[in-house]
Copies of this chain bind each other. A is one copy, B any other.
Amino acid sequence: MSYEIATIPGDGIGPEVVEATLPLFEEVAESHGVEVEFTEYDWGSDRYLDEGAMMPDDALDRLEKSDAILLGAVGHPEVPDHVTLHGLLLPIRKEFNQQVCERPSILFEGVESPLAGYEGGDVDFVVFRENTEGEYSDVGGREHVGFDHEIAIQTSVFTRQGTEAILRAAFEAAQEREGHLTSITKSNAQAYSMVFWDELVEEVREDYPDVEVESLLVDAASMDFIRRPEEFDVVVASNLFGDILTDIGAIVTGSMGLAPSGNVNRSGEYPSMFEPVHGSAPDITGEGVANPIATVLSGAMLFENVGEEGVSEDLWEVVREVLADDSAPTPPDLGGSAGTEEMVDALSERL
């Protein structure tokens, strides 16, 4: 088999982690008789500062031909956030109908949690986050600007189609895992969107009678990710709630440097995009110390998505081994001093 993978290294540490990990992906793929061809797109904030756009006009057409996309990071101190995001990340998620954002939170053996009393192996859950609508809908406006009676409105749009898509993805994952699903809501305060969400959960669960469903308010869930993260299996949440909860999940499982994610188009009509949850980290850019593991695991999710489970499993396995091994190099975000290349070498050695 042979795959065309589009890479968008992007900003800050994005290019560092993507460039360092591509050879590892090739190596593992080759060992499974799988060929990968990477096409790099140097889009991002530098392009914006030079040419006034994060991506060219035909960007999505070009990406569409690939089997999957690997993104490094976007975000630049000199470019406003809404430009970097609305100019690249959010249009790809939206135009490629990547409705399902999948983010595992695993406390690996050998990794310390900021939570007292937790040890590697204690936490392993996955959040399914709705990825193209909800609280991120581009609907709203301002009126009476500058006057005392000025207002701003921001409207969340939840479609049955979009909500069902994320719920079904989560239910299916729960069936393959421990059979436990936690649905995040705030229906006590948001009587339209979240009551709709709750009703769809009740409808959709009929098709998955073997899955046990728990409902949790987003504020309680934020506490429980800290208080009892070991009890979660699959969590399903709206765009905003998923955004917040996956960052909490990344921190309680040790570091943003380990958290991968997939933006998945369920129909296969468009490519899916995989990216580390961490940002462009301008403070450490250029120092060669960025932890490449979140990108390696995003690659593992990518290979699973295109159907190469073997490649995927090997990538997960070498990460597990390196983190568990006391004598292996440790990146700065986990208290060590190993640079990006040294970490990739350590992973590669274990193949």
Contacts and interface: CB of A to CB of B under 8 A. Distances in A.
A159 B148 CA distance: 9
A58 B239 CA distance: 40
Contacts of A246: 219
B193 A219 contact: no
Interface in A96-121: 112-117
Contacts of A150: 159-160, 196
Contact of A192 (B154, B220, B240): B154
Contact of A219 (B136, B197, B243): B243
Contacts of A148: 160-161
Contact of A142 (B90, B196, B250): B196
Contact of A226 (B154, B190, B251): B251
A156 interface: yes
Interface in A50-89: 81-82, 84-86
A193 B227 contact: no
Contacts of A115: 114-116
Interface in A282-296: none
Nearest to A252: B226
A148 B142 CA distance: 31
Most B CB within 10 A of own CB, among A244, A246, A247: A244
Contacts of A220: 247
A128 B123 CA distance: 32
A205 interface: no
Nearest to A83: B188
A307 interface: no
B114 A227 contact: yes
Contact of A114 (B84, B116, B149, B154): B116
B135 A190 contact: yes
Interface of A: 81-82, 84-86, 90, 112-117, 135-136, 138-142, 147-161, 186-197, 218-220, 222-223, 226-227, 239-240, 243-244, 246-248, 250-252, 256
